[in-house]
Structure 1
Amino acid sequence: MNTEELVEVVLPGTVEPEGLQIRHGAVPAAGPGQVVIRMEATGVSFAEQQMRRGRYFDQPPFPFVPGYDLVGTVQAMGGGVEPDLAGTRVAAMVKVGGWASHVLVDAADVVPVPGGVEAADAETLVVNGITAWQMLHRKARIRAGQTILVHGANGGVGSVLVQLAHAAGVNVIGTASARHHQAMRERGVTPIDYRTEDVAARVRELAPGGVDAVFDHVGGRGIVDSWSVLAPGGTLVSYGSASTRDDEGSKQWPVLKILGRVWTWNVLPNRRRAYFYNVWAGRALARNRFRARMRADLTQVFAALQRGDVTAQIAAQLPLTRVADALRLAESGTVSGKIVLNP
């Protein structure tokens, strides 16, 4: 007899981290084409920081269970699922729902985790790894010998970006607060303190001809500087609006402003390109193609981890029931890498 119960974290509204609720219930049953994953590791991403403020662009209505991605073992399967999945460790990107002991997922959306890779290590590379890989190789299409600028080079996505870039033979300039600079130098990144330095002026000193790509999760007025430091033929990849996390008003407006700038820059006669990257782009219209691309790219990231090109950047590990502490720590801006939640 199965005595397990579901434990999940509920975000009831725009609350402080202590307002998150722990809810108990029955473990979900797998329907046709579905699997139940017994969570071994999930994480705190910037998306959850925005969601608790009601600031994430397309978050569901309150209340809901946050959790952008997870790694765990397939515990139960519905009809039509390949039997080989039973008992295997898999990763899944779900946008919401990952902060739970058991998560119901379409079998087509899971990616096997290679043998020997720990759950927490793999967790740091699911949404962060897919995002970094696709921006580098599908959007900017970087090449060996090029130079790029990574904003937030110490963060979850940023730390993966710089490692994948180095593996591809690319020079990296990165922004972060001064406390992170020594660790960045050890990874071969030329650091810039965005708090005390004129970032655009410093980038022009380091790369007088401009950089070949900029990866900007900050948004706001600074995105104009990101565009200005591009070399001819360079690419700006915007993938967020972190600077507006604590703003009031419409959560859509900051993203719409970025989209407007991107459209304007691309229609003007110039030799540079701009993109607003959304990891979910194309899912609604071409789900099978989206799934194939996600599986291929995460497989590449896991292979990079096994080769040692990428190391898992774990800032801390906490139990799911201490999610408030985990979220507080993530929002403090004092850590490098990802905060992982375990059952």
Structure 2
Amino acid sequence: MNGEHLTQIVLPGIVDPEDLQIRHAPLPSPAPGQVLVAMEATGVSFAEQQMRRGRYYDQPPFPFVPGYDLVGRVAATGAGVDPQLVGRRVAALVKVGGWATHVLLDAADAVPVPDGIGAVQAETVVVNGLTAWQMLHGKARVRPGQTVLVHGAAGGVGSVLAQLALAHGAKVIGTASQRNHDALRSLGVTPIDYRTGDVPDQVRKLAPRGVDAVFDHVGGRSVIDSWHLLAPGGTLVAYGSASTRDDTGSKQWPVLKIVARTLLWNALPNGRRAHFFNIWAGQKLRTDRFRARLHTDLTAVFDALRRGDVVAQVAAELPLADAAQALRLAESGTVAGKVVLVP
């Protein structure tokens, strides 16, 4: 690593993408129990889009390095860590810090990436795939033959979720803009256009008795509509509030409203269930149980990717130095799949 240095993209405050900063520093050395990972791919997710607006409900104070997840190779190990990990490709969920050429991790947080999966491929399913897997199997517990509604089925989480549901034997209805309908049909998804017409009415025509699960990242009015679209025994999983991304005021309030609604709906004696999902919910401190579940579930997602149950959807691949352009592109709503940054 002689001659190498650390480069990070810094979010200094509530700024336009072009005002992101680049910081250089000497490479850090891993402490006991840590590994230094040389980033090969990191993603632009909805979290970073909200963070730059100061709208992500539990983001750290400015300035900080964004980057929810990353894939890379172990460059060095600290004391107590197997030195044979050096050179091994791993993935990690970090919430912040991923937009950097090198990242320090607790070794226990590094998940091995199976041979045969490239770094960019793997990156598309770290936070997106883990979110999709845990919502589909952990919260909604969808069964083969059931019908599910996926909002934003051409997006980062939505596209992985739709593919995992189809591979599990479910029928999938997906909302998306018209330009993405042919791609969704090719996967086996029944698309509906959220930009034209009444979405609940379109869903009811396809599923008159309701759907068995709805996955809603939109928030606001959409969550209420989603709840009313459930069949008896159905489950709503809300996992964001995209409709409030550009709002002002409290960043916690949109999420708190969704949580309050889920609590109210679950108190009703109608057999339906509602959840607000966040990977970190109840996990302020990383526990062995949390890490074990993360390893198990992400490994299952990688296996699905290797089998071809999920096809990595890369919207664009840009250098880390072009993070501003990547963020603009991700925020434009004109691309399908995930925008990925590489060194």
TM-score range (shorter-chain normalised) is over 0.9
- Counterpart residue number, 2:198: 198
- 1:79 Cα offset (Å): 1.1
Partner SS state of residue 196, structure 2: coil
Give the aligned partner of residue 141 of structure 2.
Answer: 141
Give the superposition deviation at 1:103.
0.2
Structure 1 unpaired stretches of 5+: none
1:1-343 aligned at under 5 Å gives the runs 2-284=2-284, 287-343=287-343
2:70 alignment partner, SS class:
strand
On the 8 A contact 1:33/1:78 being kept in 2, the answer is yes
Identity of aligned residues (%): 72
Tell me the secondary structure at the aligned position of residue 295 of structure 1: helix
Moved over 2 A (4+): 281-286
User: Helix, strand or coil: the match of 2:295?
Assistant: helix
CA distance in 1, matches of 2:132, 2:309: 14
CA apart distance, 1:285: 5.7
Q: 1:119 to 1:285 in 2, by over 3 A?
A: closer
How far apart, in 2, do the equivalents of 1:325 and 1:277 lie? 29
TM-score between both structures, scaled by the size of structure 1: 0.99
Amino acid at match of 1:224: I
Q: 1:172–1:190: 8 Å Cα contact kept in structure 2?
A: yes
Deviations 1:96-142 (A, max 9, x none): 00000000011000100001110000000000010000000000001
SS in structure 1 opposite 2:169? coil
For residue 264 of structure 1, what is the amino acid of its counterpart?
L
> In structure 2, what residue type is equivalent to 1:100?
A
SS in 1 for 2:53: coil
- What is the Cα deviation at residue 286 of structure 1? 6.3
Q: CA deviation at 1:221?
A: 1.2
Query: Structure 1's 151 and 71: CA in aligned 2 closer, same or farther, altered over 3 A?
Result: same
Q: Bigger CA drift: 195-204 or 329-338?
A: 195-204
- 1:59-100 Cα deviation digits (max 9, x unpaired): 000000000000000001111112332210000000000000
Does the Cα contact within 8 Å between 1:239 and 1:276 map onto a contact in 2? Answer: yes
Deviation at 1:222, TM superposition (A): 1.3
Question: Which amino acid in 2 is paired with 1:37?
Answer: V
Which ranges of structure 2 fall in alignment gaps of 5 or more residues?
none
Task: Confirm or deny: 8 A CA contact 1:136 1:165 kept in the other structure.
Answer: yes
Q: Aligned with 1:232: secondary structure?
A: strand
- 1:143, 1:170 → 2: CA distance? 7
Distance in structure 2 (CA, Å) of the matches to 1:59 and 1:28: 24
After superposition, give the CA deviation of every residue in 1:194-242 in whole Å (9 maximum; x if it has no partner): 1112111111110011100000000001111000000000000000000
1:259-316 per-position Cα deviation (integer Å, ceiling 9, x unaligned)? 1100000011111000000111232366110000000000000001111111100001
The one-letter code of the counterpart of 1:298 is L
The Cα shift of 1:319 comes to 0.2
Given that 1:45 and 1:338 are in contact with CA atoms closer than 8 Å, whether structure 2 keeps it comes out as yes
Aligned mates of 2:32, 2:231 — CA distance in 1: 51
Cα-Cα RMSD: 0.9
8 Å CA contact 1:235–1:274 kept in 2: the answer is: yes
Whole-angstrom distance in 2 between the partners of 1:197 and 1:137: 31
**What is the aligned length?**
343
How far did 1:2 drift? 1.1
Deviations 1:296-343 (A, max 9, x none): 000000001111111100001000000110000000000000001000
TM-score normalised by the chain length of structure 2? 0.99
Distance, in Å, in 2 between the alignment partners of 1:84 and 1:112 is 13
